[in-house]
């Protein structure tokens, strides 16, 4: 496949004519495998696999991989963007400080084509997380970006001009957006951050052309609604359950899958007895109405901030002898889960990292929680840590190997319980946590078997990673370390076969695409995006 500019056609100057530019239609995104050189959605496909069908770069030639160009963000902070690639252009988002920027880069040379800059309010609230952004979404001739001041903005993909700009929620109450939106059939779905500010979580869908809100799905039910019995008193109003990591979508089943975060306050569950539905859950929603079709709660009544905000990975594979439509999640709570994504049926769950909070999962996937694991005044030592066994960064599934890959964190926290008083626009956490000495920490890239969760192989890391994982049809797995290495492993064995020192910690999700008909792999490290190729 050639990039769009590989064969420029002769063009006539046409005064005042309406231009006809390539459009990234919904059909193109659904059929993303037909154009493996593009990266049209957060995880490339709606299925969330972060797998590239490109196979030019292999175990045999990856030793020749070298930087082709680099991009340096103007903003301070860490680039956590997962860029998009369409029709010769890369679109990425920068972390926010006083300005939040979106940039379009020429895919061939990394040169700026346009930028959008948004002045953030000086009283901006980002309670409980960094001022980051994890990427844009694209649909037709618009690029969609969530902002730290909790707006959703639609930009013209040819110029960066604002087409529309809507306030999703007030930032004054700690609502914010760091997630990449998910653009589906005429709709832009966007999640919200603010689980540490005592927001009442929701997931929104907006009309892609006009910005009109189509539906809002509250992740904490109001009194009288199903699940409201799992809250007490007024606690639902400040119940958390934010939606701050991009979901997945099955166009055939017409189901949208989205994870929810911790109930609020984080570490003091006394004010919210019960399971606190639908926090720490996977929701399957009707994309037309936002109505819930099914849910699965990973960590009922969470008191350790173990958000279930992960990209759900959709896999069609045989499972115990029959073809199933599966959904896999390596959860922040250290368990790996496989569900039937049509029904929500629990099929499998097992730990993939050290955990000391649950005996096991029962037949329906509910954890059998060990005694004395609650945060306490004197402190409770528990694995995994506050940041969990994995976090927002993406896992990967390779149809080539049938393996699920996750960057796993081996780390404990000492959890403390404290008072929790809700004051709008302030932290509402009810305690805190303390880390053990860093010498006690480590990490690994792990390859899990889907049917059993069994560890096929692992590649040990010195420290708990913040990097997503990319698998490719070339038989490679790409990920990065806190110490700045970006590396390739053999996807079948975990053997390291290439690495490059970027100079800063990798805390982003790698992607792969074609430029000039040649495979590229890109990853952000620090505030630099590095694009690699064989020549």
Partner 1 sequence: MPAVWMLSDTETWRVAGHVRSLGRIEAEVVPGDVSRGRAFYEGKAGCAACHIVAGRGTAVGPELTDVGSRRGAAQLRESLTDPEAALPERFLLVRLRTRDGREAHGQRVNEDVFTIQVRGDDGQFRSFRKDELADIDRQKGRSSMPSYRQLLGPAELDDLVAYLSSLRGQQ
Active site residues: 307
CA distances from 385 to 134, 408, 516 (A): 23, 12, 44
CA distances from 92 to 23, 47, 81, 181, 520 (A): 18, 21, 6, 13, 16
CB of 531 to partner 1, least distance (A): 13
Residue 18 in contact with partner 1, rule: CB under 8 A: yes
Residue 253 in contact with partner 1, rule: CB under 8 A: no
Residue 535 in contact with partner 1, rule: CB under 8 A: no
Residues 6+ apart with CB under 8 A from 219: 200, 201, 202, 203, 241, 242, 243, 260, 278, 279, 281, 283
Is the distance from CB of 434 to CB of 474 less than 8 angstroms? no
> Which residue in 109, 222, 381, 438 binds partner 1 (CB under 8 A)?
109
Nearer to partner 1, 106 or 316 (CB): 106
Structure tokens at 431: 């305690």
Residue 115 in contact with partner 1, rule: CB under 8 A: no
> Which residue in 70, 113, 317, 347 binds partner 1 (CB under 8 A)?
113
Strands (DSSP E) found in 26-88: 51-52, 66-72, 84-86
Residue 72 in contact with partner 1, rule: CB under 8 A: no
| DSSP SS3 for 27 | helix
> Which residue in 55, 56, 58, 106 binds partner 1 (CB under 8 A)?
106
Residue 87 in contact with partner 1, rule: CB under 8 A: yes
CA distances from 197 to 8, 185, 253, 431 (A): 51, 32, 35, 13
Buried b (16+ CB within 10 A) or exposed e, 402-439: ebbbbbbbbbbbbbbbeebebeebebbbbbbbeeeeee
Nearest to 404 by CA among 436, 368, 447: 447
> Which residue in 71, 164, 258, 397 binds partner 1 (CB under 8 A)?
164
Is the distance from CB of 352 to CB of 359 less than 8 angstroms? no
Q: In this chain, which stretch among 13-21, 187-195, 255-263, 484-492 interacts with partner 1, using CB under 8 A?
A: 13-21
Q: Estimate to the nearest angstrom the gap between the alpha carbon of 423 and the chain centroid.
A: 29
Region of 503 on the Ramachandran plot (φ > 0 left; ψ -120 to 50 alpha; else beta)? left
CB of 175 to partner 1, least distance (A): 21
Nearer to partner 1, 159 or 356 (CB): 159
| DSSP SS3 for 349 | strand
Nearer to partner 1, 89 or 285 (CB): 89
Is the distance from CB of 326 to CB of 317 less than 8 angstroms? yes
Nearer to partner 1, 85 or 334 (CB): 85
Structure tokens at 466: 């913040």
Nearer to partner 1, 10 or 423 (CB): 10
CB of 8 to partner 1, least distance (A): 4
CB of 323 to partner 1, least distance (A): 42
Q: In this chain, which stretch among 160-168, 218-226, 298-306, 358-366 interacts with partner 1, using CB under 8 A?
A: 160-168
Nearer to partner 1, 98 or 350 (CB): 98
| DSSP SS3 for 58 | coil
CB of 155 to partner 1, least distance (A): 10
Residue 158 in contact with partner 1, rule: CB under 8 A: yes
Nearer to partner 1, 11 or 323 (CB): 11
Residue 405 in contact with partner 1, rule: CB under 8 A: no
Structure tokens at 75: 């903003």
| DSSP SS3 for 229 | helix
Nearer to partner 1, 85 or 450 (CB): 85
Kindly state the number of chain residues that form the binding site for partner 1, as judged by CB under 8 A: 40
Residue 107 in contact with partner 1, rule: CB under 8 A: yes
CB of 22 to partner 1, least distance (A): 6
Q: In this chain, which stretch among 20-28, 77-85, 335-343, 465-473 interacts with partner 1, using CB under 8 A?
A: 20-28
Nearest to 251 by CA among 282, 287, 213: 287
- How far is the C-alpha of 244 from the C-alpha of 310, rounded, in Å? 9
CB of 81 to partner 1, least distance (A): 19
- How far is the C-alpha of 525 from the C-alpha of 531, rounded, in Å? 11
Q: Estimate to the nearest angstrom the gap between the alpha carbon of 43 and the chain centroid.
A: 8
- How many residues are listed for the chain in this entry? 535
CB of 166 to partner 1, least distance (A): 11
Residue 455 in contact with partner 1, rule: CB under 8 A: no
Residue 323 in contact with partner 1, rule: CB under 8 A: no
Strand ranges of the sheet holding 162-167, from the earlier edge strand across to the other edge: 137-139, 142-146, 151-156, 162-167
Residue 159 in contact with partner 1, rule: CB under 8 A: yes
Within 10 Å of residue 132's Cβ, how many Cβ atoms?
Answer: 23
Q: In this chain, which stretch among 51-59, 104-112, 340-348, 394-402 interacts with partner 1, using CB under 8 A?
A: 104-112
Nearer to partner 1, 108 or 295 (CB): 108
Residue 21 in contact with partner 1, rule: CB under 8 A: yes
Residue 111 in contact with partner 1, rule: CB under 8 A: yes
Residue 13 in contact with partner 1, rule: CB under 8 A: yes
Nearer to partner 1, 10 or 377 (CB): 10
Residue 163 in contact with partner 1, rule: CB under 8 A: yes
Instruction: State the residues that interact with partner 1 by CB under 8 A.
Output: 4-5, 7-22, 87-89, 98, 104, 106-109, 111-114, 122, 154, 156, 158-159, 161-164
């Amino acid at each position: 496949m050639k990039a769009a500019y590989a064969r420029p056609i002769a063009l006539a100057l046409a005064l005042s004519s309406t231009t006809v530019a390539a459009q990234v239609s919904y059909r193109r995104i659904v059929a993303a495998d037909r154009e493996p050189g593009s990266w049209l959605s957060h995880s490339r496909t709606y299925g969330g696999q972060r797998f590239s069908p490109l196979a030019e770069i292999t175990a045999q030639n990856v030793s020749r991989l070298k930087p082709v160009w680099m991009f340096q963000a103007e903003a301070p902070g860490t680039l956590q963007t997962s860029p998009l690639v369409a029709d010769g252009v890369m679109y990425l988002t920068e972390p926010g400080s006083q300005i939040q920027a979106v940039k379009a880069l020429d895919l061939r040379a990394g040169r700026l084509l346009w930028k959008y800059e948004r002045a953030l309010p000086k009283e901006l609230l980002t309670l409980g997380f960094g001022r980051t952004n994890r990427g844009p979404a694209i649909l037709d001739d618009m690029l969609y970006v969530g902002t730290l001041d909790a707006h959703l903005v639609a930009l013209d993909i040819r110029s960066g001009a604002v087409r529309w700009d809507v306030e999703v929620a007030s930032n004054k109450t700690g609502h914010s957006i760091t997630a990449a939106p998910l653009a589906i059939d005429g709709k832009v779905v966007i999640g919200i951050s603010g689980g540490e500010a005592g927001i009442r979580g929701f997931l929104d869908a907006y009309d892609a052309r006009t910005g009109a809100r189509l539906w809002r799905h509250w992740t904490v039910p109001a009194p009288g609604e199903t699940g409201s019995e799992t809250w007490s008193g007024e606690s639902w109003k400040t119940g958390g359950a934010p939606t701050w990591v991009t979901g997945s979508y099955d166009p055939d089943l017409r189901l949208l899958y989205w994870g929810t975060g911790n109930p609020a306050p984080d570490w003091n569950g006394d004010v919210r007895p019960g399971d606190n539905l639908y926090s720490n859950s996977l929701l399957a929603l009707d994309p037309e109405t936002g109505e819930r079709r099914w849910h699965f709660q990973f960590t009922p009544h969470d008191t350790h901030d173990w958000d279930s905000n992960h990209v759900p990975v959709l896999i069609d594979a045989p499972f115990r002898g029959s073809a199933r439509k599966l959904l896999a999640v390596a959860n922040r709570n250290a368990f790996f889960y496989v569900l039937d994504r049509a029904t929500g049926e629990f099929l499998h769950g097992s730990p993939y990292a050290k955990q000391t909070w649950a005996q096991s999962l029962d037949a329906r996937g509910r954890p059998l929680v060990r005694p004395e694991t609650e945060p306490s005044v004197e402190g409770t030592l528990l694995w995994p840590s506050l940041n969990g066994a994995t976090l927002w960064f993406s896992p990967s599934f390779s149809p080539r190997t049938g393996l699920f890959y996750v960057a796993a964190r081996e780390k404990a926290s000492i959890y403390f319980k404290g008072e929790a008083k809700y004051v709008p626009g302030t932290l509402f956490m009810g305690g805190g946590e303390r880390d053990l000495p860093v010498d006690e920490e480590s990490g690994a890239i792990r390859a899990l078997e889907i049917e059993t969760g069994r560890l096929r192989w692992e590649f040990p890391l010195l420290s708990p990673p913040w990097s997503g994982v990319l698998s490719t049809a070339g038989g490679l797995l790409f990920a990065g370390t806190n110490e700045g290495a970006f590396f390739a492993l053999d996807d079948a064995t975990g053997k390291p076969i290439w690495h490059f020192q970027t100079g800063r910690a990798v805390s982003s999700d790698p992607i792969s695409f074609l430029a000039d008909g040649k495979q590229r792999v890109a990853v952000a490290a620090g505030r630099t995006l590095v694009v690699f190729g064989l020549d």
